[in-house]
Amino acid sequence: MSDHNANEPDRKAEPGLDFIRTLITADNASGRFDSRVHTRFPPEPNGYLHIGHAKSICLNFGVAREFGGKCNLRFDDTNPLKESQEYVDSIREDVKWLGGDWEGREFYASDYFEQLYQHAEQLILAGKAYVDSLSADEIREHRGTLTAPGTESPYRNRGVEENLDLFRRMRAGEFKDGEHVLRAKIDMASPNVVMRDPTLYRIRHAHHHRTGNAWCIYPMYDYTHCISDSIEGITHSICTLEFVNNRELYDWTLDTLGIYHPQQLEFARLNLTYTVLSKRKLIQLVEGGHVNGWDDPRMPTISGLRRRGVTPEALQDFCARIGVAKADSVVDFSLLEFCMREHLNAVAPRVMGVLDPIKVVIENYPDGQVETFDMPYHPEDASHGSRTVPFSKVLYIERDDFREDPPKKYHRLAPGVEVRLRYAYYITCREVVKDADGNITELRCTYDPATKGGWSQDGRKVKGTIHWVSAAHALHAEVRLYEHLFSVENPNAAEEGKTFVDYLNPDSLKTVTAMLEPALADVAPGTRVQFERIGYFCADKDGTPGKPVFNRTVGLRDSWAKIEKKEGA
């Protein structure tokens, strides 16, 4: 079993592969595991999956697919106090949505409770496990410290028969929580604290979401995970870096039991700027009411990202781009945004919506007249088809698309300036109307009838093209504009006396009433569109027929904002 320590690729490699795929390639070449590849994604159903899990899902299912192998979905449900069916359901949905296909191999650690129990008796019989009757506090005291060895429990040398009897009575429910535990008998002086007689079973008179009240003793992670992997014939058990120390116990358990032994491999978990990714903190955000539930579009949860409008393809692409390695890293949120735009650009239909409207009256356009324009849903992909958009005398345009005193390089509407209304007409601003406070309330413009469709026969060019919506036909819709949940890159690094909650971005959600083109009236929740020149949006489930609600997935790149910022500075 010496080769189970072979975490470093040392046989052969294909350049460009990550260290996990490199190792698997070598294993396949050498015939280890009969050249099979079988992975698993093993979440604990105690919270919603987040983008860090997405990395693991893409890795495990991806590796299986690439090597012609299999990947199981296994719920690591050994702690009845924290787990629930709600989480099982959400996890199943999220994995499926992300493209993970476990082909019916949906397993639960709790499926193996009886086998796990039998193996525990096997360890007792072999003199490799004992029932300890120390309290939790006493066990901690006996464990020693990082620099000092531990001391053995006075119960460590109980006889096999006594251990067996006690353990069976633990199972039978004769003891209260905490009265006894089953421990592996390894080495209280090990420099690896994990190996100082780790707890294998604890007593918990608790209802389990799947096994009900069948058990009152529950196995611990280290003991359960390796045996579960073994039972399922897993070849490569991929987990995150914090389990490196646990690998020694993983190997010890399987070797001591003498059963099939997969290879544990550890990679660095994902960190993302402007977000927190620990379950504890995400739960705190939900329970503290800082967000509106696990699927709040600001959450880095898979359900949150989905509701925000991120596509599974974008998430898969993101996971492929960040790579897999063993060095701790923090990925730039802008890479995620890039991946969102990359895919949405290809698949999202274009529509027009005005987020911050200002009224425009076309003075020379006939009162009461309505024209309709047929506009393509996607300028580069005719397969998306087209829709009809009404045009009339009174319109809305974006407030930011007009400047009374335009700065240099400003290409949009200004007094005396002609611009193109997307797919419609050229208009020129003639007059600015203001209220008593000097706020602009209306723009009086004229249009050139000869530019119908947004194009001039005489070859005349306009510098700007802006989007618009006919006021009389506009759909008044709620639009939610999301920004980073946190205002600092690393909310985890809180200064003295503060926590990550103190770094929440007060402007992470801004709700506006936008003016949308009428074609959007009955859009189905989950539909993703691009509001031209603004960004990508996704119809939210809070919307109703005729009254849609949109979430901003991500804004378009805005090079004008950069220019303006630079000129201003």
Partner RNA sequence: UGGGCUGUCGUUCAAUUGGCAGGACGGCGGAUUCUGGCUCCGCUAAUCUAGGUUCGAGUCCUAGCAGCCCAGCCA
- Hey, which residues between 11 and 70 contact RNA (CB under 7 A)? 12-13, 15-19, 22, 44
By rule CB under 7 A, what string of x and - marks binding of each residue 310-349 to RNA? -----------xxxxxxxxxxxx-xx--x--xx--x----
Out of 354, 466, 485, 529, the only residue in the binding site for RNA (CB under 7 A) is 466
Residue whose pair of structure tokens reads 């082909």 in the numeric block: 103
Out of 145, 383, 439, 457, the only residue in the binding site for RNA (CB under 7 A) is 145
Which among 11, 44, 313, 564 is annotated as catalytic? 44
Backbone angles phi, psi at 193, to 5 degrees: -60, -30
- Cβ-based nearer residue to RNA, 315 or 509: 315
Residue 393's Cα: distance from chain center in Å? Answer: 45
Its sign, for the CA torsion 424, 425, 426, 427, is: negative
- Percent helix, strand and coil across the chain, each rounded to 5? 35, 25, 45
Torsion over CA of 132, 246, 223 and 178, rounded to 10 degrees?
30
Residue type for position 195: M
Which span sits near RNA by CB under 7 A: 59-67, 173-181, 300-308, 436-444?
173-181
- Residue 313 falls in the annotated catalytic set: no
Contact flag: residue 245 with RNA (CB under 7 A): yes
Torsion over CA of 197, 202, 208 and 210, rounded to 10 degrees?
40
- Residue 269 falls in the annotated catalytic set: yes
Which among 82, 269, 403, 444 is annotated as catalytic? 269
Q: Which residues of 111-148 are buried (b: 16+ CB within 10 A; e: fewer)?
A: bbbeebbebbbebbeeebbbbbebeeeebeebbbeeee
- Cβ-based nearer residue to RNA, 265 or 285: 265
Contact flag: residue 464 with RNA (CB under 7 A): yes
Out of 25, 78, 263, 303, the only residue in the binding site for RNA (CB under 7 A) is 78
Contact flag: residue 206 with RNA (CB under 7 A): no
Shortest distance in whole angstroms from residue 360 CB to RNA? 16
- What Å distances lie between residue 494 and 428, 483, 498, CA to CA? 53, 20, 6
By rule CB under 7 A, what string of x and - marks binding of each residue 208-237 to RNA? ----------x-xxx--x------------
By rule CB under 7 A, what string of x and - marks binding of each residue 345-384 to RNA? x----x---------------------------xxx----
Q: What is d(CA 553, CA 480) in angstroms, rounded to the nearest whole number?
A: 9
Out of 39, 72, 79, 275, the only residue in the binding site for RNA (CB under 7 A) is 79
Please choose, from the candidates 134, 198, 120, the residue with its C-alpha nearest in 3D space to the C-alpha of residue 164: 120
Site residues for RNA, 409-438, by CB under 7 A, read: 409-412, 420, 422-423
Site residues for RNA, 510-529, by CB under 7 A, read: none
Total Cβ atoms within 10 A of residue 306: 20
Out of 394, 471, 494, 556, the only residue in the binding site for RNA (CB under 7 A) is 556
Q: Are 28 and 13 in contact (CB under 8 A)?
A: no
- Cβ-based nearer residue to RNA, 292 or 563: 563
Total of chain residues touching RNA, rule CB under 7 A: 94
**521-524, Cβ contacts within 8 angstroms, sequence gap of 24 or more:** 521/475, 521/545, 521/546, 521/548, 522/546, 522/548, 523/548
Shortest distance in whole angstroms from residue 99 CB to RNA? 20
Which residues are catalytic, by number?
44, 269, 279
